[in-house]
A and B are shown apart, each in its own frame.
Chain A
């Protein structure tokens, strides 16, 4: 039971990080029906930006909480900027083309971003200094839930609530939902769909950046390649929950986090990355629309 609880909690922390990345996938897919392959790379760039800016500020003697805040801010700003630029460069010219084209373009962007970081920074794993504080009140239960995991959980929960409220109740959120339902119709009633699409990419990338900083603090290391695996897993989570659905992405992420955690604990740690894929294949066979996804009718 003790072992199970530990695995369960670490799975929860993992799941909440996947959720931050999966939200970006699901939002983008909901609006432009594109698997943004480069999303994982945006998350990796968020991590690197935080490492660079944080390192710069820390060595200038700034206080640790301020370093943490500013480096997260920098990661969010730069990742959002990257998301915006990627959409304009690689996806917008292909919006009216067959969907396969945009997917291939996305793979291309993913390769470019990985290699830019590889060439401009390093191919080695860098250790990622954790600026996250050690929480005193968690001391008694530290074996089960450490501070980093706790902060990850709280941050994810907070972001999720804000995001849901924004999409449900603001004018902007309404425009997003309208665009997701029917792009042309939304345009006819005066929604600036280019603006909405850009905004979706910006929000998704900003969330990925937060996820990037958190997971790098949790793992304690960073490399140009981390975005790829995390991106694929987050995508699996999004598909699992039903792509296009925001609560679905969160639910899928938790299920994936738990499965990986329990799988490595009870079965074998050699196949840690394979569990996600096995789940993906199973879900696509059994219920291709995901747990909370709407059944999409094919139109003739």
Chain B
């Protein structure tokens, strides 16, 4: 029986290998180049066996994985070695002395990081931390509110350009008055957050009636429009060339050299991440947070229970956007140069990926996802050109095999005693699944 199945699997994989060799032949084996109007084609036969073998092996693995996934059924984080490990870690952390010492070690690592590893690594870490803030912010919208936002980079841009424009227009006046322009950073930080939140509220107005796919598309449109406006209003924003020589933040009257400035920005970023985590955690357990989650699960039931959906969506988008604005100021301060190319749709998608791969709705997930996505590519430079390819594959694998993400959220569960907890075939449970 088992042997028959293996034989069948092997035969199917063979067919699939042949299919992929055919499918990918023009794109991977043939290579086109155009010289003086005529297309020339070169063959790269040496690739064909590789494609066939890879397709064979992957198809075999893929079928096995899908079977395993089906057999596992709807018990996402039930059993398995990883779940057991996290459960054990969780129970260990519940003990106070262990928790304290773990946090102390973590804090120490974070504190000495820039001194131990130097400027290069500090700068990479700052970028990663900026993405952590972005992912945490987007997590409010996507994870808590269940509203897919593909235009998140627009708010990021609003933040960065707030600082950039503030510098461009108010900077000279500051310099003339003898005040260090680095001051502007501290003015820009709250301003950008609030401005981005206003933009978020603006975006939420047209989307109040929309859900799901339409929402994704309209936010995408919004993001692209903002980018195009930045790109085409050259007189104000510098157009495609952007704004350069943005000052780094000022440190109590001192203008820091780049190395110290990086360390300083690093600490600001760490502090902002801590602040974000704190606020997001507070939101999660608050009345607003529970209303958001209710909206994610079922809008109609939510409205029937008296939750104001309009206000809810407004709050979600503004809260999410606020953090993107803050992250934008950090980006402008770190790179000292911004242009519209930093805020494309792919930026939005990268942040979304961090949220999804880490675990939608989970704070450790957003942090872990953003760090993974930003740090791994930096340390695997030889693979840099395959980055987007790998991201795409990772996204599909996670969504199919681990929809809860790598660091899933520990959801609060209430169970009735005596009620059947397994099975889930009741119509109510089905309805909830379908609408999520």
A binds B: yes
Contact with A35, one of B206, B217, B400, B433 (Cβ below 8 angstroms):
B217
- Counting chain A residues whose Cβ lies within 8 A of the other chain, the interface size class is 35 or more
Query: Does A66 belong to the interface (CB within 8 Å)?
Result: no
Instruction: Knowing A110-B392, A115-B389, A284-B206, say if A235 contacts B217 (CB, 8 Å).
Output: yes
B146: min CB distance to chain A, Å: 8
What is the distance, in angstroms, from B229's C-beta to the closest C-beta of chain A?
A: 8
B32 interface neighbour in A55, A271, A277, Cβ under 8 Å: A55
Q: Are A52 and B26 touching (Cβ within 8 A)?
A: yes
Q: Are B30 and A52 in contact (CB under 8 A)?
A: yes
Chain B CB within 8 A of A161 CB: no
Check B66 against A127 for contact (C-beta < 8 Å). no
Q: Once bound together, how far apart are the Cα atoms of A58 and B37, in whole Å?
A: 12
Instruction: State whether the Cβ of A148 lies closer than 8 Å to any Cβ in chain B.
Output: no
> What separation, in Å, do the CA atoms of A19 and B410 have in the docked complex?
46
Taking CB atoms, residues of chain B closer than 8 Å to A112 are 389, 392-393, 396
Q: Which A122-172 residues sit within 8 Å CB-CB of chain B?
A: 122, 126-129
A85 to chain B, nearest CB (A): 6
Segment of B38-46, B158-166, B307-315 engaged in the interface with chain A: B38-46
Q: At the interface, yes or no: A173 with Cβ under 8 Å from chain B?
A: no
Name the B residues within 8 Å of A128 (CB-CB): 34
CA distance A110 to B352 in the complex (A): 15
CB-CB < 8 A to B34: which residues of A? 51, 55, 126-129
Contact of B393 among A100, A108, A117 (CB under 8 A): A108
Give A116 to B69 CA distance when docked, in angstroms. Answer: 27
* Residues on the B chain within 8 Å of A300, using CB: 300-301
**Inter-subunit contact A45/B30 (CB<8 Å):** no
- Across the interface, name the chain B residue whose C-beta is closest to A34: B213
A55 and B38 form a contact (CB under 8 A) = yes
Assess A81 versus B23: contact at CB under 8 Å? Given A52-B39, A127-B34, A280-B221.
Answer: yes
Cross-chain contact B224 with A273 (CB below 8 angstroms): yes
A45 to B32, CA, bound (A): 13
B212 to chain A, nearest CB (A): 6
Q: Please encode chain B, from 219 to 231, with 1 for each CB lying within 8 Å of some chain A CB and 0 for all others.
A: 0111011001100
Interface centre among B391, B394, B395, B399 (most CB of A within 10 A): B399
Task: Point out the residue from A55, A85, A271 that lies within 8 Å of B39, measured CB to CB.
Answer: A55
| A5 located at the interface, meaning its Cβ lies under 8 Å from any Cβ of chain B in the complex | no
Q: Could you tell me the distance between the alpha carbons of A74 and B30 in the complex, rounded to whole angstroms? A: 14
Q: Which residues of A contact B214 (CB under 8 A)?
A: 239, 284, 288
Do residues A103 and B148 form an inter-chain contact, with CB atoms below 8 A?
yes
Q: Give the docked Cα–Cα distance between A115 and B400 (Å).
A: 21
- Is the pair B392, A74 in contact by a Cβ cutoff of 8 Å? no
> Contact string, A73-114, partner B, CB cutoff 8 A, digits 1/0?
010001001100100011001100111110111011111101
Tell me whether B22 and A81 are in contact (CB under 8 A).
yes
Q: Which residues from chain B contact A22 at a C-beta distance below 8 Å?
A: none
Known contacts A103-B216, A232-B220, A284-B210; A94/B399 CB under 8 A: yes
Within 8 Å of chain A (Cβ to Cβ): is B349?
yes
Pick the contact of A107: B229, B301, B349, B436 (CB < 8 A): B349
User: B399 contacts A101, CB within 8 Å?
Assistant: yes
Residue A281 lies at the interface, judged by CB distance under 8 Å to chain B: yes
User: How far does the alpha carbon of A90 sit from the alpha carbon of B397 in the complex, in Å?
Assistant: 9
Residues of A within 8 A of B434 (CB): 98
Across the interface, B69 reaches (CB within 8 A) one of A74, A93, A288, namely A93
**Distance of A179 Cα from B212 Cα, bound (Å):** 21
The answer, among A78, A104, A119, A232, for a CB contact under 8 Å with B23, is A78
Contact A85 B23 (CB under 8 A): yes
In the complex, whether B8 has a CB less than 8 A from a CB of chain A is no
Does A278 sit at the interface, judged by CB under 8 A?
yes
Complex contacts, B212 vs chain A, CB 8 Å: 99-100
Nearest CB in chain A: distance from B230 CB, A = 12
Counting chain B CB atoms within 10 Å of each CB, the highest count among A33, A74, A82, A121 belongs to: A121
Residues of B62-77 at the interface with A, using a CB-CB cut-off of 8 Å, are: 66, 69
Q: Tell me which residues across on chain A come within 8 A of B433, comparing CB atoms.
A: 98
Chain B residues positioned under 8 Å from A182 (CB to CB)? none
- A74 surroundings in chain B (CB, below 8 A): 26
Residue with the greatest number of chain A CB neighbours at <10 A, chosen from B221, B385, B435:
B221
- Nearest residue (CB) in B for A130 is B37
Measured between alpha carbons, how far is A126 from B39 in the docked complex, in Å? 9
Least CB separation from B298: chain A residue? A300
In the complex, B377 has a CB within 8 A of chain A: no
Any A CB within 8 A of the CB of B232: yes
B225-273 residues with Cβ-Cβ distance < 8 A to A are: 225, 228-229, 232
How many whole Å from A163's CB to the nearest CB in chain B? 23
List which B16-53 residues lie within 8 A (CB) of chain A.
19-20, 22-24, 26-28, 30-34, 37-41
How far is it, in angstroms, between the C-alpha of A48 and the C-alpha of B392 when the chains are bound? 21
Q: A93-B66, A115-B392 are in contact. Are A280 and B356 (CB under 8 A)?
A: no
A69 at the B interface (CB under 8 A): no
User: How many whole Å from A110's CB to the nearest CB in chain B?
Assistant: 7
Across the interface, do B389 and A119 meet the contact criterion of CB distance under 8 Å?
A: yes
Q: Is A277 a contact partner of B225 (Cβ separation < 8 A)?
A: yes
Once bound together, how far apart are the Cα atoms of A284 and B207, in whole Å? 8
CB distance from B131 to the nearest CB of A (A): 17
Q: Mark B366-406, 1 if CB is under 8 A from A, else 0.
A: 00000000000000000001101101111110011001000
B399 near A59 (CB under 8 angstroms)? no
Bound CA span A121–B19, Å: 21
Q: Could you list some 12 contacts between A and B, CB below 8 A?
A: A58-B39, A90-B396, A101-B399, A101-B403, A103-B148, A103-B216, A107-B349, A108-B394, A122-B33, A236-B217, A274-B224, A276-B221
Binding site for A on B (CB under 8 A): 19-20, 22-24, 26-28, 30-34, 37-41, 66, 69, 146, 148, 206-207, 209-210, 212-214, 216-218, 220-222, 224-225, 228-229, 232, 300-301, 349, 352, 356, 385-386, 388-389, 391-396, 399-400, 403, 433-436
In order of increasing CB-CB distance, the 7 nearest A-B pairs are A55-B39, A111-B392, A277-B221, A108-B395, A112-B392, A115-B389, A108-B396
